[in-house]
Amino acid sequence: MTSIPTETTVTNAWLTERLNKAGHEVEVTGFTAKRIGTGQIGKCIRYDLQLTGKTDGAPTSLVGKFPSDDETSRATGVMLKNFIKEVSFYQQLQKRLTIATPKCYFAAIDGEGPDFALLLEDLSPAIQGDQLAGCSVDVARAAVLELVGLHAPSWNDETLRGKDWLGEPDADSTELNRALYQGNIDGFAERYGAKLKADELEIIRKVARAAPPTGETLPDPFSLVHIDYRLDNLLINETLSPPKIIAVDWQSISLGSPLADVAYFLGAGLRSETRRQAEEEIVRAYHTALLDASIKNYGWEACWTDYRKGVFAGFFVTVIASMIVERTERGDEMFLTMARRHARHALELGSDEFLT
C-alpha cells in the first residue's frame, strides 16, 4: 500500500495502525464500507469496524475522505487548493481552535493533490444538514454561535499570514476571483436565469462589475474563515438542546472577514421569511459571544455593517462553483436555491449600496 491510501486500498492492518497510534489497543479484523454525503470535490466513505482487544472507548466506525472520481472536480480541487487546505487544516490548525470538528486519525496529501486521504471520527447520530430544506432558527443560532470558536481564536492574528496554502485576499487573488466570476456569469445566467426573478439575476450580474465590498486586501478585522459554512457541510444533532453543530469540509478555509461566514450561512441556510424574522437577533448573539471571548474594539454597528457586506460571499461560491464542479441534478437544485436566497438576502438588506 502506498503511504496515502485510496478507498480501495484501505485494509484491516492500516485501520488497526491508525487506531493504535490514537491510543486504542485494538485490532481491526474486518470492516464494511459505504459511500455517504453529497460532496462534489471529495467523497466520503463510512467504515464500520469489527474489533478485538480492549474495545472499550474505541470507535466502531470511522469516515474516510478521498478525492472525487470526476477528473474535472479533481482538477478543480488542485486549482483552488481545496485538497491541501483541508489536509493542512487538520495538520496545523485544528488544535488551536474551539469550533467543534471531528477528531482526525490520519491526514496526508501528495503535494497539493489530487491524491490525499483523511480518516475522521464518525459523528453519528449527528446527521448532515440539508441545504435545500433549510433549517430551524434554533439550528441557525447554534451554527452561527459555533463560528465564534473559529473566529475568536484567530481574530487579527498576524502569525496566520504568509501561509501559501491558506491564502488571504490581495490584488492578485481578488482579480482571479473576479475573472472567474465574470468568466462564468453568462453560463450561470443561461443555466439558471430563467428560474430567477429579474431583480435577483440583476444583482447577481451587478456583482461581476463591482469592486469587492470588503476591499481587495485583508480586511480589518480578519480571522480564519470557513468560506463554505453551510448546512451541507455541517453535522447536526438536534436531539440535544441547543442543537450540537460540528463543522466539516475545510477545503476552502482562508483568511478574510469573519462576518462573511455568518452572512453566508444565514443567507443560504434559512428560508427568506424565516431569516427576516430571526437574523438580527442571531447576529447580535454572535456579537455578544465575540465580546465574551475577549474580542475588543468591535462595536455592534461595525459588526452589522460587516454582516451586510458579507452577503456577497455567497454569490461567488454559487456562481463559480456551480459552473466548475461535476454537474448533478441535486447540484443544480442546490445552486439555484442558493442563488435565490443570497440574492434576496442582499436585496432585502440594501447591500447593493456597497457595490461600486
pLDDT, position 1: 41
Q: Which three cell numbers stand for residue 17?
A: 495502525
Q: Where in the chain is the domain with CATH 3.90.1200.10?
A: 127-354
- Would the pLDDT of 2 be above 70? no
- Would the pLDDT of 39 be above 80? no
CATH superfamily of 127-354: Aminoglycoside phosphotransferase (APH), C-terminal lobe (3.90.1200.10)
Write out pLDDT tens, residues 327-350. Answer: 888 889 999 999 999 999 999 999
pLDDT tier at 42, thresholds 50, 70, 90: confident
pLDDT, position 38: 63
Q: Which of 227, 199, 191 is nearest to 319 (CA)?
A: 191
Q: What is the mean pLDDT of residues 95-116?
A: 96
pLDDT tier at 89, thresholds 50, 70, 90: very high
- Would the pLDDT of 78 be above 90? yes
Q: Where in the chain is the domain with CATH 3.30.200.20?
A: 12-121
Write out pLDDT tens, residues 152-168. Answer: 999 999 999 999 999 99
Other Cβ atoms less than 10 A from the Cβ of 79: the count is 12
pLDDT, position 211: 84
**Least confident interval from 129-143, 226-240, 315-329:** 315-329
Bin 22: left if φ > 0, else alpha if -120 < ψ < 50, else beta. Answer: alpha
| All residues at 6 or more sequence positions from 162 whose CB lies less than 8 Å from its CB, including other chains | none
Q: Which three cell numbers stand for residue 263?
A: 452572512
CATH superfamily of 12-121: Phosphorylase Kinase; domain 1 (3.30.200.20)
Q: Which residue has the higher pLDDT, 98 or 215?
A: 98
Write out pLDDT tens, residues 250-285. Answer: 999 999 999 999 999 999 999 999 999 999 999 999
> What own/partner pairs with CB < 8 Å and gap ≥ 24 does 13-18 have?
15/47, 15/49, 15/62, 15/119, 18/62, 18/105, 18/106, 18/119
Q: What is the mean pLDDT of residues 20-47?
A: 90
Q: Can you tell me the distance from the alpha carbon of 168 to that of 223, in angstroms, rounded to the nearest whole number?
A: 10
| All residues at 6 or more sequence positions from 185 whose CB lies less than 8 Å from its CB, including other chains | 204, 205, 208, 319
